[in-house]
Amino acid sequence: MARFRDKKNKGFVKPVVKKNLKNVDHITGDKVPKSFVFARGKLPAVLRQLQVDLRKLMLPFTALKLKEKKRNSPKDFLNVAGPMGVTHFMILSKTTTGPYLRVARTPQGPTLTVKIVLSGFGTGEQHLKIATIMFQNIFPAIDINTVKLASCQRIVLLNYNKETKLIDFRHYFIRLEPVGATQRLRKFVQNHQVPDLRNLQDVSDFVTKAGYGSESEGDEDAATVTLSNDLSRINRASTKSAVKLQEFGPRMTLHLIKIEEGLCTGGVIFSEHGI
């Protein structure tokens, strides 16, 4: 009599397909800038939080959950930077004189060193030119003629003060609000909820009720744009919307003290204390 043996079912696990972000900038044709944000040495709690905030700021082109060990050096991160397409390092450190941030271009530099002191870059001095280019190249390029307004959700502003030689670093959310619409009307459209009209004589009373003017939160003072396409239920094509900024952080005041040719090493191009 024939003997039957049980055959084990061989399962096949379908590989998880991750959505890869485009690695090539459609404007410049170059690789999209990517970054590692990590620390050198032990950081106090305030700087640890700043490190987390910087990683969120650099999303989606950074490693949000980058793991670090005490024995790691910049060379360790450099070894994995190439295969992962990482173009910049942002390195936080703390000494007896204060906290510092180094912004380095991989793999060969240059490196900016700024002291953290917790749009006005000049172009006359060489070290400011290098700093301007360095900060610009951290982020993907934007073509103002073709960019879609809906894709612009955050903005980083840097302002250089020639008198104090300090750089103000600010991170904002971009909000669009229709010009002329009351705050109450905007909330009504966004929330999709029927308001309580029992104590009102007419629907117009809801819109023009005292305390809610036709202009809200200084629309007259805000920059306005005419939308080329629909962005939301209240921001429609061919209508004017006020562009407003809401600060999200982190907020930093930076002092440029040194520029090195290489990756955290090499000849000193600029030094605040003289070369």
CB 245 within 8 A of CB 105: no
Cα separation, 249 vs 28, in Å, equals: 28
The answer on pLDDT for 186 being more than 90 is: no
Of the listed ranges 10-19, 164-173, 175-184, 254-263, the one predicted with least confidence = 10-19
Going by C-alpha positions, the residue among 192, 190, 172 that lies closest to residue 243 is 172
Does 97 or 218 have the greater pLDDT score? Answer: 97
Domain count, the chain: 1
In a domain, 28, yes or no: no
In a domain, 91, yes or no: yes
Q: pLDDT per residue over 145-158, tens digit each?
A: 777 777 778 889 99
- Give 150-179 as a 3 state SS string: HHCCEEEEEEEECCCCEEEEEEEEEEEEEC
Q: pLDDT per residue over 50-91, tens digit each?
A: 999 999 999 999 999 998 888 888 899 999 999 999 999 999
pLDDT of residue 274: 72
Cα separation, 218 vs 182, in Å, equals: 11
The answer on pLDDT for 102 being more than 90 is: yes
Does 17 or 143 have the greater pLDDT score? Answer: 143
For residue 18, CA distances in Å to 3, 15, 149 come to 46, 9, 26
Please report, for the domain that includes residue 41, its CATH number: 3.40.50
Cα separation, 213 vs 219, in Å, equals: 11
Of the listed ranges 43-57, 60-74, 167-181, 215-229, the one predicted with least confidence = 215-229
pLDDT of residue 6: 55
In a domain, 113, yes or no: yes
The answer on pLDDT for 32 being more than 50 is: yes
Range of the structural domain that residue 265 is part of: 34-142+160-169+251-271
Cα separation, 106 vs 134, in Å, equals: 12
Mean pLDDT of 103-114: 93
In a domain, 257, yes or no: yes
pLDDT of residue 35: 95
The answer on pLDDT for 8 being more than 70 is: no
- 252: exposed, middle or buried (Cβ count in 10 Å: 0-12, 13-18, 19+): buried
pLDDT of residue 17: 46
61-75, 203-217, 221-235: which is most confident = 61-75
For the chain, the first-to-last Cα distance in angstroms comes to 94
Cα separation, 25 vs 140, in Å, equals: 7
In a domain, 237, yes or no: no
- Which residues lie across from 255 on neighbouring strands? 115
In a domain, 5, yes or no: no
The answer on pLDDT for 213 being more than 50 is: no
Rounded mean pLDDT of the chain? 79
Mean pLDDT of 37-58: 92
Cα separation, 113 vs 161, in Å, equals: 17
* Diameter of the chain measured on Cα atoms: 99
What token pair was written down for 186?
A: 């905007």
Mean pLDDT of 83-104: 93
CB 52 within 8 A of CB 68: no
pLDDT of residue 214: 44
In a domain, 131, yes or no: yes
- Which residues lie across from 98 on neighbouring strands? 95
pLDDT of residue 72: 87
Cα separation, 206 vs 208, in Å, equals: 6
In a domain, 61, yes or no: yes
